[in-house]
Amino acid sequence: MSPVERSAPMAQHIAIPSARFAIGDVVRHRIFDFRGVIFDVDPEFANSDEWYESIPEAIRPSKDQPFYHLLAENAETTYTAYVSQQNLVPDESDEPVDHPEIASMFNGLEGGRYQLRPEHRH
């Protein structure tokens, strides 16, 4: 081994989780009965520790994965949700999400994905 090879730092591979879903995608929770449209993505957990600790330990997701902000709906109501990637699956229903804030953020459903309004793009 040459002196240069001995002094060169070893390269470390750091796994960075990549987002499986994008803004505008319609998704469904894999455990709980709700679905929604994604309006923001955090590359890893970015909510409060209190919120995180409120999840039962047996189903608490890892923090080192993307988390998604959803305009969500279930049979009773609409709301916003914050969900880990591991708990989301694509919604294959092709049905629109019935949430009152969708029209202010998206132009409409096209090809199974909501189209973000131009003023919300950055």
Q: Which residue reads 């679905």 in tokens?
A: 35
Q: Say what the pLDDT of residue 29 is.
A: 98
- CB count within 10 Å of CB 106 equals 22
Rounded Cα gap, residues 29 and 33, in angstroms: 6
Report percent pLDDT > 70 for the chain. 85
- Domains delineated in the chain: 21-120 (2.30.30.390)
Torsional sign, CA 96, 109, 34, 80: negative
Torsional sign, CA 83, 85, 88, 94: positive
DSSP conformation letters of 66-104: -EEEEEEE-SS-EEEEEEEGGGEEE--S-PPP--TTHHH
**pLDDT tens readout for residues 36-82:** 999 999 999 999 999 999 999 999 999 999 999 999 999 999 999 99
Angle at 38 between CA 54 and CA 103, to 5 degrees: 120
Q: Say what the pLDDT of residue 55 is.
A: 93
Q: Say what the pLDDT of residue 12 is.
A: 52
Mean per-residue pLDDT, 103-119 = 93
**β-pair partners for 69:** 40, 82
Q: Say what the pLDDT of residue 5 is.
A: 46
Q: Say what the pLDDT of residue 121 is.
A: 79
Mean per-residue pLDDT, 93-104 = 95
Which among 106, 33, 38 is positioned nearest to 70, based on CA atoms?
38
**pLDDT tens readout for residues 84-95:** 999 999 999 989
